Chain A
Amino acid sequence: DVVMTQSPLSLPVTLGQPASISCRSSQSLVYSDGNTYLHWFQQRPGQSPRRLIYKVSNRDSGVPDRFSGSGSDTDFTLKISRVEAEDVGIYYCMQGTHWPLTFGGGTKVEIK
């Protein structure tokens, strides 16, 4: 199985400051069709997960542009340019290139 390793586990951030989450995969996530199926999800307290970023760097509709995704092959990053109070929650990366589909362990973003 592809192991997805996220860091840090916990990320205390000051409001208005940037935040960055790393996600590394144990295998390349480039699929035979040329796409890289690496996605990011946000789970606010008490809510279902919500997709933020798909295929590395594409923002979902309604997602603020302070969220951005980057990376390639096995190394990926989610950045929040200026953290707001509503960004509190757990962030997961997830790979859809190889079966079984696997998630990172999650990064908890909290306000200092």
Chain B
Amino acid sequence: QVHLVESGGGVVQPGGSLRLSCAASGFTFSTYGMHWVRQAPGKGLEWVAYARYDGNYKRCADSVKGRFTIFRDNSKNTLFLQMNSLRAEDTAVYYCAKDPDTLMGTGFDYWGQGTLVTVSS
């Protein structure tokens, strides 16, 4: 059974940094691409970033480019999102999501429960 557990959320001041983690289990983590998706309070879903199965191919949304970095540790079955230069508009629940594909980022078949990031002074 696929299980994704995010952690690392919290309250941070504008301009600050935070690192989110996503612990994966129930599948061969090193075989699948992984994503971060966020949802601002009362708003819709926004894709944030993707890392291919080996971590060597990554994509991210323009809204976070240059500030957020996705990376993964396949030896620990863990996905990360390093968030720097945080802004108020980054306030959201951040979900970790598994891609059904190995090589292509085409969607999400499993989601975690999410972790809340609040950027506020």
A binding-site residues for B, Cβ under 8 Å? 31, 35, 37, 39, 41, 43, 48-51, 54, 60, 90, 92, 94, 96-97, 99-106
Contacts and interface: CB of A to CB of B under 8 A. Distances in A.
Interface residues of B, number: 22
Interface in B12-38: 35, 37
B104 to A, nearest CB: 8
18 contacts: A39-B108, A41-B108, A48-B95, A48-B111, A48-B112, A48-B113, A49-B37, A49-B95, A51-B107, A54-B107, A92-B45, A94-B107, A96-B106, A96-B107, A101-B35, A101-B47, A101-B50, A103-B44
Most buried by A among B37, B95, B100, B107: B107
Most buried by A among B59, B108, B112, B114: B108
The prevalent SS among residues of B at the interface is loop
Contacts of B37: 49
A35 B100 CA distance: 14
Interface string B51-63: 0000000010110
